[in-house]
Structure formats: C-alpha cells, structure tokens
A and B are shown apart, each in its own frame.
Chain A
Amino acid sequence: MKPKQYKSGIKPIWCPGCGHYSVLNAITKAFAAEELAPENCVLVSGIGCSSRLPAYVHSYGFHGVHGRALPIATGLKVARPDLNVVALGGDGDGLSIGGNHFIHACRRNVNMVYIIMDNEVYGMTKGQTSPTTPEDWDHSKLTPHGTDVPAIQPCSLALSAGASFIARAHSGDANRIAQILIDAMHHPGFAFIHVLSQCITFCPEQSHWKKIIQVREEVTDDPQQAAQFLQGDNGFSVGVFYRNPRPVWPHPSQIDKEINLRQGFQHSI
C-alpha cells in the first residue's frame, strides 16, 4: 500500500499550516514503508487538535477522553499484544491532564509508541498556555502576564520516569518523523517521540523553529549520558537520544490448564 492509501479520506479539522499534517503524513509513510496491514494497527488518542488524528488514518483507532490515551493504549496492548499500538496526542493531553499516566507508562514499559505532538499551546480551546509553554509567553487571556512557571521538559521527564526509547522530531521534516517512528515501532518497550509540531494560529513565532532545529545523531544507552545531554539541550535538538531496551511488561505468565477456580471454595465434611 502507498502512504496515501493509509489515509481515511476524512478531511482534518486542522488550520492551514498546522504541524499535525506532517505527523499524519509521517504515520502513513511509516506504515507504508513497513507494509503494515491497516487492520493490525490501532491509533489511540485523547482530546485536543492532535487527538483528532486517528480518524484520518485508515486503521483502527480510539479517540477517548481528555488525557487518557495512554491507559486505553495500555489496556489494549496488554490484552492484544498482537496489535501495533500507537498512542498520540498533544502537550496538554499528555503532560497536564494526563501527566500521571505518562510517568507510569514510561516506567511500565508496555510495548507501544507514544507521540506527543507538542505545540506549546491549547489550540482547541483557543490559545491557553500548556505545561510546555515558555514562561514569558503572554498571549493567553487566561494568563495575560505569562505562566510564570518553567516549562516541562518532556524528554527529561521520560528519561527520569524510565522510558526505554526517547526521541525528538520536528513537524518541518515528515521523513525524519517517519524514520524515527519506524525505529520506535521496532523498539521492544515503551518508545516516546516528542514532536515539535507548530501551531501558527496561536503561536506564529513557532514558524522560526525550523531555523533553530539541530539534528543530533547521538543515541546512547547510558541514562547518565542521556540525562547530561538533555539537561544541556535547548529543546530544539532532533534525533533518537536514548535507546536502552529492558524487559517488556507484562512478563510472560504460565497458563495452567488444570486450574480449578472453584477449588479454594469447595470443601467436604
């Protein structure tokens, strides 16, 4: 199948110039390159502009409630390990309302991919600040003086929470996103991709991102080295930063064909 055959034909609700188109294209490219059967792929999302994406792909999908993409994806993958499960959503969905699930998904290491399409803003509710908004950004009516709170660093957070694959990409380069997604899908365990995905409607200044993006081809399996790199990073490096496979959860369990669930209850006199 060609990439465009993985499109569902539903027209996205996104604004012209939205970075999310690029992520959509990257997903269809990666699925085509890997020759994945659409019926074996499931895209799971929460709420927000980016979370609309599953309906635009010709595969199975689940568009859940705000912040809960990862639990739905976790339940699905644990119950159906045969499926290729990709969870995705925005920075508000994954780092604010769903922040707790992000931490625990990183440490649980279920074999799936999670893409945060980070535009540093709540687009769907018209431009409020998110956990990744720069602290001096004062364009929101809700926080007219800026957030006054430092932004979350998603990749550092993922590393400290125990993610075994961490990468960043930029919506200006769909081919790189596709390549990283392919790597992530091959990674056994929880693979996190942080995509800088511009929202030129509410943050037109983000169109400058493409000028400051730097490709860093320095993947490591050493968490200390990765931490050092991420601490010094300005947030605009792209590439796979960390890859350190460890046992995938759940560990295989023994099926006991002889088990009698009623045994403990039944007694003779």
Chain B
Amino acid sequence: MKTITIAMVGSGGTGVVALGDMLLQLAAGKGLFGIMRKTFSPQIRGGESASIVRLSAEPVASFDGCIDLLLILDWNNFQRFSDEIVITENTLVVQDAQAGQAPELDALNSPLQVDFSGMADSLGSSYANAAALGYLSAWMQLDSARLLSVLSQRLHLSEQDAEVVYQVAQQGSKAYANSPLSLTPLTNTQSHDSYWLATGNQMAGLGALEAGVRFVAAYPITPASDALEWIAGRIEQIGGHLVQAEDELAAVNMAIGASYGGVPAFTATSGPGLALMSESMGLAVASETPLVILDVMRGGPSTGIPTKSEQSDFNLALYGLHGDAPHIVLSPLSIPDCCNTVAWAVRLASELQTLVVVLSDQFLGQSAQIFPPIAETQHQAHLLKADLSTANEGEDGFNRYIDTESGVSPMALPGQAGGEYTADGLEHTENAIPSPRVQDHSKQLDKRLRKLRNHQYGDQWCATKPACEGSAGCLLLCWGSLYESACEAQQLLQERGHSVDVMGVRLLSPLPLEELNKQLKQYSSVVVVEQNHQGQFFHYLRSLGLETNALHCFAQPGPGLLSPTTMANKCEEVMVNEA
C-alpha cells in the first residue's frame, strides 16, 4: 500500500492542527483515505504543536513512523518532537521563510523555502497556514473549488475574511510552480462516492447517543473533553440533558442518579478523573445501576502527559474498585469502532445492570480518520424492567435484588407503584434492606458475578485478522488503539516472509476464557503488545491461568508511536528465537 505522510509543525497558534484538518478534508474530497494525529504540549498558545497526516488511495488507520514531507511553519521547539517526528534523509522539508533557524540535524535535507507568512502579510492576513494549504493542494492536485468552503468553515471566518484568506491560499497554490516537490502525489484508485470523516471521541459520542444515552454528566479533562463537547448541544435536541458537573465525583454520581431513574447515562474522563470516580464505580456495581464511563487514556501516573496517548489505565479500570466488584471493561479497536464499542457498552450496562468502562486513548480519541460509511450499530439500551402488574410486591417490599438464574433482577423505576425500594451501596437482602449477614453478602456477590459470567457476549469479544498466506505460528495479541498498527505490522511481516495472525481484544473483562484458550493454543508464540511500561494486560493474561505458555510481553510506554515496524521487529525476534 502506497502512502504519503506529511508532518506539519509549528508553535501553538500557528494553525498547524487546522492545516492538517483542512488537508484531510480536501484529500477526502478527492477520494483518498487518510488519518491525522495531533501532538502538542499542554500549553494552548506558544507551545509546540504538530499534526501528522498519512494519506493513501486505500483505507489507512495507522502510522508507520515515516515522514515523507515535513512542513515547518515555526522551527521553535521542533526538537521536542525529535522522538515523535523522526526525519530521515528521505524526508523532504519545506519551511516558511519566517520559520526561524532550522536545527542542526544529521538527516535534515536542506529545506525548500516558501514565503507563506509573506503571502499572508501582503494581504493583511495572519493565516500563513492557508498559504501552506494552497501550496499542498497544488502539489496534490486537490479540488481548489472546495478550498474556500473548507477554509471558511474550519477557520470560522466571516464572508469578507474568507475571501481574503482564500486569496492567501491561492497565492500558496501559485507559489507551487516555482517551488515544486520531488514527491509524486497520490492518485485515487478506489471508486467510492461517499466517506466519513471523524475522530474517535466523536464516534464515541455518536455511539452513546445512538444506543439511547439521554443523560451525560461532564467534567472537562484532556483528552476526553471533545467527546463530551460533541454530545453537548445535540443531546438536548433529542430530549436528553448534559450537565457540566463541579468535579468527577459529581459527574459519576449524577450519571448514577439519572440511570437509577431509568435514563441511560454516560460520562467520559481520563486517568485522573477515573481515579476520582472509582469509589462510586463500586456504588454502581453494588446498587446494580447501569453506568458507562469512557476513559480516554493519556500518559500517567498523576498528571503525567495529559495531551499524549498511553494504555496505562488498564489496571485502574480492572482493579481500581474496592471490594469484590465485578464489572465490564471494553476497548474500541479503531476510530470508527469507538461508535460500536461505546454503543455495546451502553447496551451491556443496561442489560446487565452494571458498570462498563470503555478504554479508549488519546490516539483514538483525537485522531481524525477518513473511512467508509458505517452502518448504525444494533446496540440499544435495554433494561429488564419490573412488571408490577403481577403483584411482585411481597409483604417485605419489592424484591429489587431477587436472586435469579441469570443474576439479573427486574428493576423498578421511580414512578412505578409497588416497586418502591431504596438502592444502596450497603450490602442488602433480596428486597433491598441493608444487611451485614454472611448469607446475604455471598448471595449478592454470587449474583453480581454470575450475571457477567453467564452472559453470552457473542463473537465480537475480539477482532481477528488471519495471515493472508500460510498458517501462522505466531499471534500478535493486542487491545485498543494498537489493533490497526498490529494489522499493518502483519503486512510488513508478510513482506518479510513471515505469517502472523492478529487478535485485538474488545472485551477485556470478563474475558471468555474457553474461547481464548482455544484460540491461543494454536500458536507456538503469542506476542502481547501494549503501550504501557509494566505490561499490564500481559500480567492480567498470566493471572488467568491460560493453557498456553507461549506468551511474550512487549510493552512500551507512551507517548511515542508504537509503530508497526517496531512490532514487526519484535515478532521477528521472537520467531527467530523460537526457531
């Protein structure tokens, strides 16, 4: 698959993220596919900022780590990206004439100078990024007729300003003739007439609302806020509400309150917020109140690296609750899958009256991708409501926590006469009366575990991608945002003559052990790849007593890209050692 990756770098405020967005939109309009990730410092203005766009004629959902073209609006702080934007002698460099002094790097080709800022200045505009967009459009032969609308929408311009900025872009286009790039642009081979362009956070919001969420509690936190912001303004139009809470403690409890009232509820946060929510996550489990929390993970511990990706909240999501508190943990395997996985979470939470934590991350959440249109998921919130016409109310009150075979008990909702009960974080009897008795505790513990264990989750608990040729002896096993990179690693290995299968786990807990064992037994080596320091998922797998002893841990912390090449090299190393 031929791809071109363009990194656009500036300081915060130079508009490189907007530039990346607009380039992606124009490329999509031409029929290309692509993905854009953003990387920046927590400083809103003046810090380093970059957007990296990878384009292809075929769907592309990962980054290979190569940079074909580096476009610099400001060299200042570029060095801070040295781990993330790796330039080689094959990287073409274009820089704004006013970008400052290029750093002394061995592999740095002498930059092609184009006076983007001067073009903007000459028209009294500050949008040098528009000139750069025009330049790139001319190189890629993108549809210049769409330039005006893309600029005015993305930069929120008045009609008058848009006209000026459009002229800046046209200057950029004209400048291409004098400073052409020795890089052949992509041509679209795929024939499709429509596409989607979205971030994972937006897809998560869509999944939540489509599955029936009508109450959202929100406390801002990077990198989860934009999922909540997408929902805000829309949820009211479909009859729901979003409340900005005073803190995460309030947010999670507001969601629990709404859900107790029978309204599917959702909140989104990141590591520090999830830690604050963990006490009440136990309340959702004990009171059997449906609750969905999206954790868009970032570098940790503590404040960590707020703007960058890491898969290091796995342990918190699984083990962060006090007491024996069984719950569900899911992870979306791609940007479009954020919609499906969050919708599934909403459904599972309501069907099983439990807590579902969805582990997304900054990469999935904030990267934008062009992908083929996705169908509406089949997942809908569905509560087992109490039917009180059949005199369910015993002498001692409604049996809210009656011990059923499935473990799920009918839930009465306020407003239903005869169903009155007090939901409780205290251990309780079947009719919801607080009880410290041994037999009540073990009955309710069993029930809450059984309802999760007995549930048939279906085959979407994981996604698998078998090797194209030959039988694979090695499995690349991952979860969350690494799945698409692992699929690209599989291709690289194929080119090197190795057959490797890929599995991405969507249902992290409870894992269907029988199924997993059946799959893992086929392989002489299983490389468990994850983006954290201690191999949290690997150690979890080990703790389950799997029937395989072929697990290899490959854990690498964020925030650098865990590239397909790195994964492929690791698999190759394992396979060579095995041989």
> What is the interface of chain A, defined by CB distance below 8 A to chain B?
8, 10, 37-40, 42-44, 52, 54-55, 58-65, 67-68, 70-80, 82-83, 100-101, 103-104, 250, 253-256, 259, 261-262, 265-269
Contacts and interface: CB of A to CB of B under 8 A. Distances in A.
B246 A104 contact: yes
B433 A259 contact: no
A62 B415 CA distance: 14
A269 B414 contact: no
B257 A75 contact: yes
A103 B241 CA distance: 21
A261 B433 contact: no
Contacts of A61: 420-423
Nearest to B238: A259
B286 to A, nearest CB: 9
Which of B30, B197, B421 is the most central at the interface, judged by chain A CB atoms within 10 Å of its CB? B421
B94 to A, nearest CB: 28
Interface of B: 28-31, 192-198, 202, 206, 209-210, 214-215, 217, 234, 236-239, 241, 243, 245-247, 249-263, 265, 279-280, 282-283, 287, 373, 397, 414-426, 433-434
A54 B422 contact: yes
A79 B258 contact: yes
Nearest to B371: A265
A40 B243 CA distance: 23
A83 B415 contact: yes
Contact of A68 (B193, B249, B258): B249
A265 B196 CA distance: 5
Nearest to A41: B414
A59 B417 CA distance: 9
The binding surface of chain B is classed by DSSP as: mixed
Nearest to B214: A79
A261 B262 contact: no
Nearest to A76: B257
B196 A71 contact: no
A269 B234 contact: no
A267 B421 contact: no
B246 A101 contact: yes
A252 to B, nearest CB: 9
B417 A37 contact: yes
A268 to B, nearest CB: 5
Nearest to A39: B417
Given A65-B282, A259-B237, A266-B373, 7 more contacts: A60-B420, A65-B283, A68-B250, A72-B253, A75-B258, A80-B261, A250-B243
B433 A74 contact: no
A266 B241 CA distance: 25
A49 B27 CA distance: 64
Contacts of B283: 64-65
Contacts of A42: 261, 414
Contacts of A253: 236-237, 241
B206 A63 contact: no
Nearest to A84: B414
B166 to A, nearest CB: 20
B262 A80 contact: yes
B543 to A, nearest CB: 28
Which of B206, B215, B257, B423 is the most central at the interface, judged by chain A CB atoms within 10 Å of its CB? B257
A79 B261 contact: yes
A14 B38 CA distance: 58
B257 A71 contact: yes
A78 B241 contact: yes
Which of B30, B261, B263, B426 is the most central at the interface, judged by chain A CB atoms within 10 Å of its CB? B261
Nearest to B253: A71
B29 A64 contact: no
6 contacts: A38-B420, A39-B416, A63-B434, A75-B259, A262-B206, A267-B28
A256 B426 CA distance: 41
B415 A78 contact: no
Given A75-B255, A261-B206, A261-B210, A83 B261 contact: yes
A254 B236 contact: yes
Contacts of A40: 414-415
Contacts of A71: 217, 245, 249-254, 257
A61 B206 CA distance: 32
Q: Across chains A and B, which 3 residue pairs bring their CB atoms closest together, nearest first? A: A75-B257, A75-B254, A61-B422
